A and B are shown apart, each in its own frame.
Chain A
Amino acid sequence: MTAALLIFIPLAGALLAAVWPDERTRPWFLPVTGVLHTALALRLLVHPPPVAPDAWFGFDPLARAVLPAVSLLFLFCSLYAVSYLRLRTERPNRVFVASLLAILGLLSAGHQARHLGVLWVTTEAITLATVPLLHFNGTARAYEATWKYLLVGGTGIALSLLGSFCLGYASLRGGGGGDLTFAALVAQGAGLSRPWVLIAWVFLLVGYGTKMGLAPMHTWKPDAYGEAPAIVGALLAGGVTTVAFTALLRVRAVVVAAGAGAVADRTLLAIGLFSLVVAALFLLATRDFKRMLAYSSIEHMGILVLGTACGGAGLAAALFHVWSNSLTKGALFLTAGNIRRAAGARTTDEVGGMAAVAPQSAALFVAGLFAITACPPFGPFFSVLRVLRAAVGTGHEAAAGLFLGCLLLAFVGLTRLVFAIIDGRPRTNLRAHRRGLQETAGVILPPLLLLGLSLWLGLATPPVLTDAWTAAAHVLAPAP
């Protein structure tokens, strides 16, 4: 029952915000809902409720291992949103606030979905709910990005529906009674029709992989992250991609039960490494610091998938990485938003010397840079280390080597770009913009706290989290 509240509170908040008459007070719906949601999610993390095996929704081990991270990310984004929307009073915020809240509700539903069809319906609904957020800025470039998001994302999501049907047919062909909950599919195991399982895996991997932004289905990502407001980028990179990742984890468990786990893991390994390579190469080339974050997100999606491909310990490490990536990436997106507003531009050609113009944001951005490139002692360092250890431990030494090489290239690419905009003398045209940005507590504290959480995650990983990750990995990849 409490688990259902995670879904219904934000949805109710979205409805209320949609009819709320006052533009100025409406953004406060976000932090209020965020606080309630986080409190509930943390409570459920500590006291996991029992889940009926045939339930369509439930706070099961996987939801427990991931959803609180999304909840925390949303909370800090919502605090930032209040200050952000105060700066953007020229644009009406009704749709923006309502969509953000609806997305939180749908994200909670997606993480808790234990039915193949229901999972698809929620993922598609999330895709649609993000559309008004992407073109909030209302520029031609924003519409272009939205169109690409709709077309690429729409096709991806259509293919995942096809994959879901194929998996359903695998069950039907194998003599199943038509129960499409993941629990029932896993229980049917080897009884599933193998050819259909493999066809389903391909479509579902491409479909949910598009949503995650794995290369080569990543093309929408730089455009969407580049044009969307910072909060939206943070939620896309830390929340929406996570739903797609958990969807892949649930499907993988079925494929493993059907006896095709080796095939699934080989494809995951290949696509994960490919994403890492593509992201690393683009990071070396890009000149736009918001698009840079998109490529960094592709890189980290690759790490998640790579960890999953290594089974058991790797999966637990990947779940750890979901947390460290979500929180750190959130901090980076929010800071990038500050810098973008202070500079009025986004590329190294136009931006420089931000350390003088926006010193606090610049400092945060540099700290975030070191965190996301897996420098100790931030969270990503430890999660990446665990993924690496799992890869070596399962005999994927070559993959681990390539992985390390990509991390190094990404580090070079990211530091190159970040110091190009932080260092040096401020461009003359920045002076005019400088008055537009005051580094108030409202825009500095949320990213600072997110980064603090990432640090805490690395220095003193709470045992309850480690426990949640191992429990989820145990359910999803039972030791043979």
Chain B
Amino acid sequence: MNGTVNLLIGLAMGLNLLALASSRLPSVIRTVAVQGVALGLMPLLLQSPLDWMVVLVALATVAVKGLVIPALLGRAMRAANIDREMQPFIGFVPSLLLGAGGTIAGVAGAQFLPLLPEHAGTLLVPGAIASLFTGFVLLVGRVKAISQVCGYLILENGIYLFGLLLIRSTPLLVESGILLDLTVGVFVIGIIVDRIQRAFDSLDTRKLTALHE
């Protein structure tokens, strides 16, 4: 069981690096979608015996992270007519190096955290730290609004991974509340992205500089 879980987390960590390295928006969105699906399946592996609520939440997560959110972002991207991230704040190679550094730090650092024995053998915590770090690099290092949203989603995926440590104690009602908030959040972001595109005729967040002291 742990083997499969670790395999999925390893996949997610690889996808982090892919997201950092790619300069084309559609591939970043696809990467985030695949990562979301991989993580969405994890409750099914971690929780045994399965009850129908867990299955329901897992399916909803996969649907939202794998289909709904990428579709929303894809639509916003097509409406804005962009598919490439040019001149990011942090270049693609430095981002990749930062991401790799974060991943290594995650694996190394997790050993120093006091974990329960059943969690010590999994990659849950290192995966969470690596994704958090990747998310931050994308948030700070990209200039297109949609790339920043992707960074935010990877950040959320990292938090989600960490939340899996608590799967036995977090009531599913709360889990589904969190999922709902996330979905609505990205939906709202999608709308704002669309409006920014109309108001500024661009999704380059460097142009959002009217407000300052």
CB of B139 closer than 8 Å to a CB of A? yes
Task: Among B148, B163, B211, point to the contact of A145 (Cβ < 8 A).
Answer: B211
B159 and A155 contacting across the interface, CB-CB below 8 Å: no
| A141: min CB distance to chain B, Å | 5
What B residues does A223 contact at CB under 8 A? Answer: 211
| A346: min CB distance to chain B, Å | 12
A115-B174, A141-B210, A151-B139 in contact; A158/B181 too (CB < 8 A)? no
Q: With A and B bound together, what is the CA distance between A140 and B195 in angstroms?
A: 9
A158 and B208 contacting across the interface, CB-CB below 8 Å: no
Q: With A and B bound together, what is the CA distance between A244 and B104 in angstroms?
A: 34
A141-B211, A158-B159 in contact; A118/B174 too (CB < 8 A)? yes
What B residues does A168 contact at CB under 8 A? Answer: 166, 169-170
What B residues does A177 contact at CB under 8 A? Answer: 169
CB of A148 closer than 8 Å to a CB of B? yes
Task: Among B155, B170, B188, point to the contact of A150 (Cβ < 8 A).
Answer: B188
A151 and B171 contacting across the interface, CB-CB below 8 Å: no
A118-B174, A121-B177 in contact; A165/B165 too (CB < 8 A)? yes
Segment at the interface with B among A9-17, A41-49, A124-132, A390-398: A124-132
CB of A191 closer than 8 Å to a CB of B? no
| A216: min CB distance to chain B, Å | 14
A124 and B181 contacting across the interface, CB-CB below 8 Å: yes
Which parts of A145-159 form the interface with B (CB within 8 Å)? Answer: 145-148, 150-151, 154-155, 158
Segment at the interface with A among B8-16, B73-81, B82-90, B113-121: B113-121
Which parts of A96-139 form the interface with B (CB within 8 Å)? Answer: 115, 117-118, 120-121, 124-125, 128, 131, 135, 139
Task: Among A147, A165, A172, point to the contact of B159 (Cβ < 8 A).
Answer: A165
A148 and B114 contacting across the interface, CB-CB below 8 Å: no
Q: With A and B bound together, what is the CA distance between A246 and B53 in angstroms?
A: 32
CB of B132 closer than 8 Å to a CB of A? yes
| B27: min CB distance to chain A, Å | 22
Give the number of residues in B that approach A within 8 Å (Cβ atoms).
38
The total of interchain contacts (Cβ-Cβ below 8 angstroms) comes to 116
A128 and B188 contacting across the interface, CB-CB below 8 Å: yes
Q: With A and B bound together, what is the CA distance between A111 and B52 in angstroms?
A: 32
Task: Among A120, A155, A171, A173, point to the contact of B178 (Cβ < 8 A).
Answer: A120
Task: Among A121, A151, A165, point to the contact of B162 (Cβ < 8 A).
Answer: A165
What A residues does B166 contact at CB under 8 A? Answer: 165, 168-169, 172, 178
CB of A296 closer than 8 Å to a CB of B? no
CB of B192 closer than 8 Å to a CB of A? yes
Task: Among B132, B159, B185, B192, point to the contact of A146 (Cβ < 8 A).
Answer: B192
Q: With A and B bound together, what is the CA distance between A406 and B120 in angstroms?
A: 48
| A106: min CB distance to chain B, Å | 11
Q: With A and B bound together, what is the CA distance between A69 and B163 in angstroms?
A: 35
A165-B163, A193-B114 in contact; A154/B185 too (CB < 8 A)? yes
What B residues does A419 contact at CB under 8 A? Answer: none
A118-B174, A118-B177 in contact; A155/B155 too (CB < 8 A)? yes
CB of B184 closer than 8 Å to a CB of A? yes
CB of A227 closer than 8 Å to a CB of B? yes
What B residues does A141 contact at CB under 8 A? Answer: 210-211
Q: With A and B bound together, what is the CA distance between A151 and B196 in angstroms?
A: 13
| A96: min CB distance to chain B, Å | 15
CB of B51 closer than 8 Å to a CB of A? no
CB of A222 closer than 8 Å to a CB of B? yes
Interface string of A231-251 (1 = CB under 8 A from B): 000000000000000000000
Which parts of B171-199 form the interface with A (CB within 8 Å)? Answer: 171, 174, 177-178, 181, 184-185, 188-189, 192, 195-196, 199
Closest to A125 in B: B181
| A131: min CB distance to chain B, Å | 5
Closest to B207 in A: A144
CB of B152 closer than 8 Å to a CB of A? yes
| A326: min CB distance to chain B, Å | 25
A168-B170, A195-B114, A227-B211 in contact; A131/B192 too (CB < 8 A)? yes
Which parts of A328-342 form the interface with B (CB within 8 Å)? Answer: none
Q: With A and B bound together, what is the CA distance between A154 and B139 in angstroms?
A: 11
| A173: min CB distance to chain B, Å | 6
B211 and A140 contacting across the interface, CB-CB below 8 Å: no
What A residues does B2 contact at CB under 8 A? Answer: none
CB of B57 closer than 8 Å to a CB of A? no
A158 and B192 contacting across the interface, CB-CB below 8 Å: no
What B residues does A162 contact at CB under 8 A? Answer: 132, 159, 162
| B112: min CB distance to chain A, Å | 9
Residue from B165, B185, B211, B213 having most chain A Cβ neighbours under 10 A = B211
A162-B132, A222-B213 in contact; A180/B169 too (CB < 8 A)? yes
CB of B37 closer than 8 Å to a CB of A? no
A155-B139, A165-B162 in contact; A143/B213 too (CB < 8 A)? no
CB of B145 closer than 8 Å to a CB of A? yes
Q: With A and B bound together, what is the CA distance between A285 and B166 in angstroms?
A: 47
A147-B208, A162-B132, A195-B113 in contact; A154/B152 too (CB < 8 A)? yes
A-B contact pairs, 28 of them (CB 8 A): A117-B174, A121-B177, A124-B181, A128-B181, A128-B185, A131-B192, A135-B192, A145-B211, A150-B188, A150-B192, A151-B148, A158-B159, A161-B178, A162-B159, A165-B162, A165-B165, A168-B166, A169-B165, A172-B165, A177-B169, A178-B166, A178-B169, A180-B169, A180-B174, A193-B114, A195-B114, A196-B114, A223-B211
Q: 9 additional contacts, CB 8 Å, given A141-B210, A165-B163, A195-B113?
A: A147-B208, A150-B188, A150-B189, A154-B185, A158-B156, A169-B165, A178-B170, A285-B213, A286-B213
Interface residues of B (CB under 8 A from A): 113-116, 132, 139, 145, 148, 152, 155-156, 159, 162-163, 165-166, 168-171, 174, 177-178, 181, 184-185, 188-189, 192, 195-196, 199-200, 205, 208, 210-211, 213
